[in-house]
Structure 1
Amino acid sequence: MTPLVLGWLSRKLTAGSLDIDLPDGKSVTIGRGAPRARIRFASEAALRWVLKDPRMRFPEAYVDGLWEPENDELLPVIEVAIRNANGLLSSASRQLRIVRARLGELNTAISARRNISHHYDIDTPVYRLFLDRELHYSCAYFPDPDMSLEAAQEAKCALIARKLDLRPGAHVLDIGCGWGSNALFLARNHDVHVTGITLSERQLEVAQQRAREAGMEDRVTFRLEDYRRTRGTFDAVVSIGMFEHVGRPQYNTFFARVRELLAPDGVALLHTIGSAHRPDEGSPWIRKYIFPGGYIPAASEVMPAVERSGLVMTDFEVLRLHYAETLAHWHRRFQDNRAEIARIMGERFCRMWRFYLQASEGTFRWGGLEVFHLQLTRDQARIPLTRAYLFSDSSAG
């Protein structure tokens, strides 16, 4: 590495430092101060290759085994990377990435199905090895920081149920129902009928099987269906962790569909990852390898589409750090079961998904990601005047 390149890198890394060891015994340090992390590269050529496009190639190089973190501690490395990621991009490069990302979000019915299949149609046993028993694959809710993942996921469902202000006999639409976890919770605990829709064939199979095994087929219906094709009227509409797959070009369509599907006195709840900062293209590596077609919105990008839809926002809550804690639980379970996951999917998959889980946790801790809860109605008088009903033990499932 030339002194010129090292000097440029050190100027760009303004929040922490990274020590890099090379096979010939040389070590270089870029950046300064804390936080500090150490990695070992397989070769100087690999390091030079990464530096040509660090936001994409740094995780690619980890997946390919071209570098390893000291003591196998990946999260400290990710912290340094996250705190300095935007500094490695010029203004022109950032704008180009934003344009490319937006083009990738044109999720037609066909491309949306393909993108969902990429992530969710891998072997279900893999998910069972790191998720909670009920297969919730979204941010849990930790009113008690010491609670188990299972308890925190149930607390999340109970909070959402309170925000939907469900009445016995209500018909609920769950957009992006996953493996049916939230739908089954609502039907079991709140005397409602839930229709869950998903674009993942494997999720549909598991959800339908779970409904049969629970004897709840008369209260829960699951369908392979795009939200744009759903018809009917529902007393409540909920969407948990699906909006990240919608894409900005479809925001107006999404909220217009929610309004059309929602009864005049209905309540909708959107649970989505959001950015605390200005709009950004996010991680190109995540978009390519983990969630193609996905996008994490800033609140400023969501609100205009809500306003245009005619829906009324009756509550907005930010869940801070709850997803970081959820991801920490998932990562521990993933690593505890890594040998079995590698047997099913291979070691490269394990490295990729370890980076994905820890990079996601790190971005919630240090990169400005949060979870937004948007409560929406067609009638602003539908919801109680204060938020006291959200914290009533009697309304919890």
Structure 2
Amino acid sequence: MYKTLLERFLGKVIRKGVLEVTFADGTQRRFGLPAPGFPEVAVRFTSAAAQRKIVHDTSLGAGEAFMDGELVIERGDVMEMAALLRGNSPWDRERDMREGSGLAEFFDRAATVVDGINRAARAKKNIAHHYDIGNDLYTLFLDRDHMQYSCAYWPHDDMTLEQAQEAKLAHIAAKLALAPDQRVLDIGCGWGGMAIYIARKVGAEVLGITLSEEQLALARERAQAAGVADRVRFELVDYRDLAARGETFDRIVSVGMFEHVGQAQFKRFFRDCAALLTHDGVMLLHTIGRMGSPGSTDAFTRKYIFPGGYIPALSETVAAGEQSRLIAADVENLRLHYARTLREWYKRCTVQKHAIVALYGERFYRMWIFYLAGATAAFESGSMCNYQIQYVRNRRALPLSRDYMAERETELLSAQPHPAIAK
């Protein structure tokens, strides 16, 4: 029965490109037709259980089958398989592909609501699940200069990942309208790349906060090595606890952290940000988003990658900020920039396969590249995107024209370290 249901599903989905499937009973089927820009992939199931899992929940079932060696890709790779499946049902041109059964979708939504509660103790545990597995993994595939585990910015096609991440930092810093005498808060500072960049290029004082002990230790090392330890400090603290201390900052930046907040905490997040921001302050929120209406976190991502995470729609993000009278002064959709970033990460991970397997095992490696491939397909053909939202509390805090952003961005890309910073 499950084999028949899977055949029907694939026959309906795969129209462009080719998917050859060898089922667990040895029978073979070919779905789709060759088409320009679409890959040809061959897969083999080693168990009927894997076929059943995929019927029940496409993403989780396929992910676990691939991780366990029950779904073997014999021609092409997992990136091409994900692109083939998602590319046949692009979100922006036709009805989106369903992620499994209606029952699975119901449970995804219910679990997303529960995860969205995400109180402080659970938030630290959820962050540790992804970021405290060790810095060794991330040094294998992130950019060497800034260790940015977030969407890069690709204004030119011929850029390296390192150049694109540098361009992203300049793009964000320009929108913040930074000055040397300002205090800056970096919420979810990662390994310190954004904070160190601001201190080196502008000379401002920066506090970076994280819930990851692994990130904290390396961020402090990197700040010391960059010669900015006197202007940048890092703390292991939740943004909610920081807000309770009563400090204020001229600028707030948050890159790739809002995805971990959880739906139920959106209003609290913006309320605390408003309290932390001075009256003339500026905030820049850089987050993965969904281009449609609010949705849910799929079971694979929730179980293996980002427990407690949720990708917000623009509508619910802006609405939550409105509750604290934060003015959305500028909104940019980086539509395909994350797809390019993910492809670079995937390429580097495959090159470093033996090192990753030696650190974490074959099953982890398969999980990781499945995650990167699925995310890439979601940004190329699904509903995922990246938003940069600039907030102000005072409508007069910034120039009337957006021209200052481009001008400042150009200056930052060519600027030397600030004179106050030791070289």
Q: Which TM class, normalised by the smaller chain length?
A: over 0.9
User: Counterparts of 2:111 and 2:351 in 1: how far apart (Å)?
Assistant: 37
Change (3 A) 1:123 1:220: same
Say which of 121, 124, 127 aligns to 2:135. Answer: 124
Q: How does 1:70-85 map to 2 (within 5 A)?
A: 70-82=74-86, 83=88
User: Equivalent residue for 1:111?
Assistant: 122
Would you say the 8 A contact 2:57–2:100 is kept in 1? no
Cα shift at 1:71: 2.5
TM-score (norm 2): 0.88
- 5+ residue gaps, structure 2, are 90-95, 416-423
Report the secondary structure of 2:394's partner residue: coil
Change (3 A) 1:378 1:39: same
- Does 2:29 align with 1:28? yes
- Does 2:230 align with 1:218? yes
- Does 2:196 align with 1:184? yes
Percent sequence identity is 43
Would you say the 8 A contact 2:334–2:387 is kept in 1? yes
Letter in 1 for 2:5: V
User: Counterparts of 1:282 and 1:250 in 2: how far apart (Å)?
Assistant: 16
Q: How does 1:29-68 map to 2 (within 5 A)?
A: 29=30, 35=38, 37-68=41-72
Say which of 144, 151, 154 aligns to 1:142. Answer: 154
Q: Deviations over 1:170-219 (max 9, x none)?
A: 10000000000110000000110100000000100001111222232210
User: Counterparts of 1:297 and 1:350 in 2: how far apart (Å)?
Assistant: 28
Change (3 A) 1:67 1:216: same
Would you say the 8 A contact 2:21–2:29 is kept in 1? yes
Cα shift at 1:391: 1.1
Q: Deviations over 1:135-187 (max 9, x none)?
A: 11111101112111111101100111100000121100000000001100000
Q: Deviations over 1:284-335 (max 9, x none)?
A: 1011100000000111111111111111111000011111111111111111
User: Equivalent residue for 2:420?
Assistant: none
Would you say the 8 A contact 2:143–2:162 is kept in 1? yes
User: Counterparts of 2:3 and 2:65 in 1: how far apart (Å)?
Assistant: 23
Change (3 A) 1:14 1:237: same
Cα shift at 1:10: 4.7
User: Counterparts of 2:22 and 2:67 in 1: how far apart (Å)?
Assistant: 18
Q: Deviations over 1:88-147 (max 9, x none)?
A: 545565344212211122111100000000000012111101001121111110111211
- 5+ residue gaps, structure 1, are none
Report the secondary structure of 2:51's partner residue: helix
User: Counterparts of 1:186 and 1:241 in 2: how far apart (Å)?
Assistant: 17
> Aligned-pair RMSD on alpha carbons?
2.1
Instruction: After superposing the two structures, state which structure 1 stretch, 31-40 or 126-135, moved more.
Output: 31-40
Letter in 1 for 2:317: V
Would you say the 8 A contact 1:10–1:32 is kept in 2? no
Report the secondary structure of 2:389's partner residue: strand
